[in-house]
Amino acid sequence: MPKQYSPTESEARWYDFWEASGYFAASEDPDDHRPTYTLAIPPPNVTGSLHMGHACRTTFEDVLCRHKRMQGYNTLWVPGIDHAGIATQVVVERQLKREGLTRHDLGREKFIERVWQWKEESGGRILQQLRKMGASCDWPRTKFTMDPDMVRAVREAFVRLYEEGLIYRDTRLVNWDVESQTVLSDLEVEQEENVEGLMFDFAYPLADGDGEVVVSTTRPETMLGDTAVAIHPDDERYRHLHGKYVRHPFVDRMIPVILDPELVDPEFGTGVVKVTPAHDQNDFATGKRHGLEEINILELDGTLNENGGPFQGLERFEARKAVENELANLGLARGSKKHMMTLPRSHRSGTIVEPMISTQWFVKMKPLAAPAIKAVEDGTIQILPPEWSKTYFHWLRNIQDWCISRQLWWGHPIPAWYCDNCEHVTVAREDATACGGCGSTSIRQDDDVLDTWFSSGLWPFSTLGWPDRTLTLSRFYPTQDMETGYDILFFWVARMIMMGLHFMGEVPFTRVLLAGLVTDERGDKMSKVKGNVVDPLDVIYGATGEELIDKAEKAGAKKAGIKYLRTTYPDGFVAYGADALRMTLLSYSTQSRRIALSMKRIEGYRNFANKLWNASRYALMRLSDSSTQATQQCPQPKALANRWVLSRLYQALDISSTGLDAYRLDEASGALYHFVWDEFCDWFLEVSKPALDSGDAALVQETEATLVHALETVLRALHPMMPHITEEIWQRVPKWAEAPKSIMISRFPSALVDAKIDRGAERDFEVVQAFVGSARTIRAEHHVPMSQPLKIHWHTDDEFKRTVLEAERSTIESLARGEMCFEADAAKLNDAAAHFDNAAVFVNPGVRAAVPGVIDTEKERDRLQRELNKVEKELGVVEKKLGNPSFVERAPEAVVEKSNRDATELREKRERLEVALNSL
RNA sequence: GGGCGGGUAGCUCAGUGGUAGAGCGCUGGCUUUACACGCCGGACGUCGCAGGUUCGACCCCUGUCCCGCCCA
Q: Of A718, A721, A740, whose CA–CA distance to A23 is shortest? A: A740
pTM: 0.86
Whether the per-residue pLDDT at A814 is higher than 60: the answer is yes
Name the β-bridge partners of A842.
A849
Strand B interface, A 568-597, C-beta < 7 A: 588, 590-596
Among A348-362, A459-473, A792-806, which stretch is predicted with the lowest mean pLDDT?
A348-362
C-alpha angle A381/A387/A392, rounded to 5°?
A: 60
Q: How far apart are CA A31 and CA A34, in angstroms?
A: 9
Q: How far apart are CA A862 and CA A297, in angstroms?
A: 84
Which stretches does DSSP call E strand in A728-834?
790-796, 818-822
DSSP structure class, residue A94: H
**Residue percentage of chain A with pLDDT more than 90:** 32
Q: Calculate the angstrom distance between C1' of B9 and CA of A844.
A: 27
Helices (H), A411-478: 452-456, 459-462, 471-476
Buried b (16+ CB within 10 A) or exposed e, A168-188: ebeebbbbbbbbbebbbbebb
Instruction: Using CB atoms within 10 Å of the CB of residue A507, give its burial: 0 to 12 exposed, 13 to 18 middle, 19+ buried.
Output: buried
Name the residue with the least CA to C1' distance from nucleotide B43: A866
Q: Calculate the angstrom distance between C1' of B27 and CA of A781.
A: 13
Q: Of A260, A266, A210, A310, whose CA–CA distance to A275 is shortest? A: A260
Buried b (16+ CB within 10 A) or exposed e, A666-691: bbbbbbbbebbeebbbebbbebbebb
Instruction: Using CB atoms within 10 Å of the CB of residue A838, give its burial: 0 to 12 exposed, 13 to 18 middle, 19+ buried.
Output: middle
**Residue percentage of chain A with pLDDT more than 70:** 98
Interstrand relation of A517-519 and A594-596 (parallel, antiparallel or unpaired): parallel
Q: How far apart are CA A229 and CA A219, in angstroms?
A: 15
Of all nucleotides in the shown strands, which has a C1' nearest the CA of A886? B55
Q: Calculate the angstrom distance between C1' of B46 and CA of A780.
A: 32
Query: Are A722 and A729 in contact, with CB atoms under 8 Å apart?
Result: no
| Residue A409 to residues A117, A178, A483, Cα–Cα distance (Å) | 15, 16, 30
Of all nucleotides in the shown strands, which has a C1' nearest the CA of A781? B41
| Residue A734 to residues A24, A569, A708, Cα–Cα distance (Å) | 25, 42, 8
Name the residue with the least CA to C1' distance from nucleotide B71: A395
Q: Calculate the angstrom distance between C1' of B65 and CA of A235.
A: 39
Name the residue with the least CA to C1' distance from nucleotide B31: A786
Q: Calculate the angstrom distance between C1' of B20 and CA of A870.
A: 14
Rounded-to-5 percentages of helix, strand, coil across chain A: 50, 20, 35
Q: How far apart are CA A518 and CA A504, in angstroms?
A: 34
Q: Of A640, A639, A637, A669, whose CA–CA distance to A653 is shortest? A: A669
Q: What is the pLDDT of residues A699-732, one digit of tens each?
A: 999 999 999 999 999 999 999 999 999 999 999 9
Q: What number is the average pLDDT over the span A602-619?
A: 93
DSSP structure class, residue A630: B
Q: What is the pLDDT of residues A878-910, one digit of tens each?
A: 888 888 888 888 888 888 888 888 888 888 888
Q: What is the pLDDT of residues A303-326, one digit of tens each?
A: 998 988 888 889 989 989 998 898
Q: What is the pLDDT of residues A369-396, one digit of tens each?
A: 999 988 988 888 988 888 788 888 888 8
**Does strand B come within 7 Å of the CB of A445?**
no
**Does strand B come within 7 Å of the CB of A632?**
no
Helices (H), A33-167: 52-70, 85-98, 103-106, 108-121, 125-132, 148-163
pLDDT of A626: 64
Q: Calculate the angstrom distance between C1' of B71 and CA of A491.
A: 14
Q: How far apart are CA A187 and CA A403, in angstroms?
A: 10
Q: Of A476, A684, A535, whose CA–CA distance to A54 is shortest? A: A535
The CA dihedral of A505, A378, A37, A729, to the nearest 10 degrees, is 160
Q: How far apart are CA A651 and CA A631, in angstroms?
A: 19
Query: Are A298 and A220 in contact, with CB atoms under 8 Å apart?
Result: no
Q: Calculate the angstrom distance between C1' of B5 and CA of A888.
A: 39
Nucleotides of B under 7 A from a protein CB: 3-6, 11-15, 18-19, 23-25, 28-32, 34-43, 54-56, 68-72
Q: How far apart are CA A484 and CA A498, in angstroms?
A: 17
Q: Of A753, A590, A578, whose CA–CA distance to A668 is shortest? A: A590
* ipTM over the 0.95 cut-off: no
Q: How far apart are CA A455 and CA A457, in angstroms?
A: 5
**Does strand B come within 7 Å of the CB of A186?**
yes
Strand B interface, A 811-830, C-beta < 7 A: 817
Query: Are A703 and A623 in contact, with CB atoms under 8 Å apart?
Result: no
The answer to whether the bond into A385 is cis (omega within 30° of 0) is yes
Q: Calculate the angstrom distance between C1' of B5 and CA of A137.
A: 33
**Does strand B come within 7 Å of the CB of A893?**
no
Strand B interface, A 851-870, C-beta < 7 A: 866
Of all nucleotides in the shown strands, which has a C1' nearest the CA of A604? B23
Whether the per-residue pLDDT at A496 is higher than 70: the answer is yes
Whether the per-residue pLDDT at A641 is higher than 80: the answer is yes
Q: What is the pLDDT of residues A83-133, one digit of tens each?
A: 988 888 888 888 888 888 888 888 889 989 989 988 888 877 889 999 999
Whether the per-residue pLDDT at A77 is higher than 90: the answer is yes
Confidence class for position A35, pLDDT limits 50, 70, 90: very high
